[in-house]
Amino acid sequence: MKQAFIAELLKIRHAKIVWVTFIAFSLAPIMGGVFMLILNDPVAIENAGALSAKAQMMNFSANWNSYLEILTQAVAVGGVLIFGFVASWIFGREYSDDTAKDLLALPTSRIKILNAKYSLYVIWCFVLTVSNLVVGALIGLLLQLPAPTTDLITAHATNYFLTTVLTVIIGTPVAFMAIWSKGYLGPLGFVALALVFSQIIAATGFGYYFPWSVPGLFSGAGGEYKEQLDTYSYLILILTSVLGYIATVSYWRYADQEK
């Protein structure tokens, strides 16, 4: 598995898609900084119009508490899309580049190859979230937001990384869609549908039992709906993740790989 993982690292060494994901994901702290800048300037609040109204409607203030909440919610909602994109690329590129047959012919366990890909997926996603936190911290310092307390940082950091874990593990079905559809389009379409349904179902008040809605609700993006999360919510999410992994491994091992 170590050699398979090194091979996966070599594949992304010069891949432009890596920087695309970092740039796309960094839009969250940048937009959060714009919110803080507007809320910190009474004149800007009057001139910002709809943007200011949205920030005030969400009860945001120009402080670290609101800014960190924005970053956490961005991981939950934007992470479903960006992390899904990462999984689509890692698992689907082998078919688009016509290299899947080469991997299947290697004297290396197919499970180890998949585990190497999943390891890269997890590391990639966590590096993305850490980078957002760093960018957010720099923007917050530039905006001279009031100094946060240690308890505030600890509470938000815990919530931030727990949200990240929930969002990352729900990506296993995307990996299955990539190898089942043999390319990028299938998993990307699946991610888009999952994201749309997560918003719709969460808005109806039943998101706590839809796995792709759980990270968003946990992050606080659904407001009072977070209180509806229970043990079954997390069990459904974990079960979906496990089934996605099992389906990926089973298909890779036993399906007729005609391409």
Lowest mean pLDDT across 8-17, 81-90, 179-188, 243-252: 8-17
Residue 26 gets which letter from DSSP? Answer: T
User: What is the pLDDT of the chain when averaged over all its residues?
Assistant: 84
Q: What letter would DSSP give residue 148?
A: P
pLDDT at 146 > cutoff 60: yes
Give CA separation, 128 vs 14, 82, 232, in Å.
Answer: 17, 9, 29
Residue with tokens 């905006």: 143
Tell me: pLDDT of 53 over 80: no
Please give the structure tokens belonging to residue 40: 């910190």
Nearest CA-CA partner of 76 in 180, 187, 160: 160
Average pLDDT over residues 160-174: 95
User: What is the Cα–Cα distance from 76 to 25, expressed in whole angstroms?
Assistant: 12
| CA–CA dist 89, 40 (Å, integer) | 40
What is the spatial distance between Cα 197 and Cα 178, in angstroms, rounded to a whole number? 20
- 3-state class of 62 per DSSP? coil
Provide the H-helix boundaries in 26-171. Answer: 27-39, 42-48, 50-57, 64-96, 100-105, 110-142, 150-169
Cα–chain-centroid distance for residue 22? 12
Q: Averaged over 13-22, what is the pLDDT?
A: 87
Give the span between the Cα atoms of 247 and 181, in whole angstroms: 13
In percent, the amount of the chain with pLDDT more than 70 equals 85
Contacts of 53 (CB under 8 A, 6+ apart): none
- The stretch 55-71 carries a mean pLDDT of 76
Average pLDDT over residues 223-243: 88
**pLDDT confidence of 259, banded at 50, 70, 90?**
low
Would you state the pLDDT for residue 127?
A: 95
Residues 33 and 62: beta-carbon distance below 8 Å: no
Q: Which amino acid is at 72?
A: T
Say whether 181 sits in a helix, a strand or coil: helix
Task: Answer yes or no: is pLDDT of 71 > 60.
Answer: yes
Give the CA distances from residue 256 to residues 98, 101, 180, 218, in Å, rounded to whole numbers and listed in that order: 16, 11, 11, 39
Cβ(57)–Cβ(223) under 8 Å?
A: no
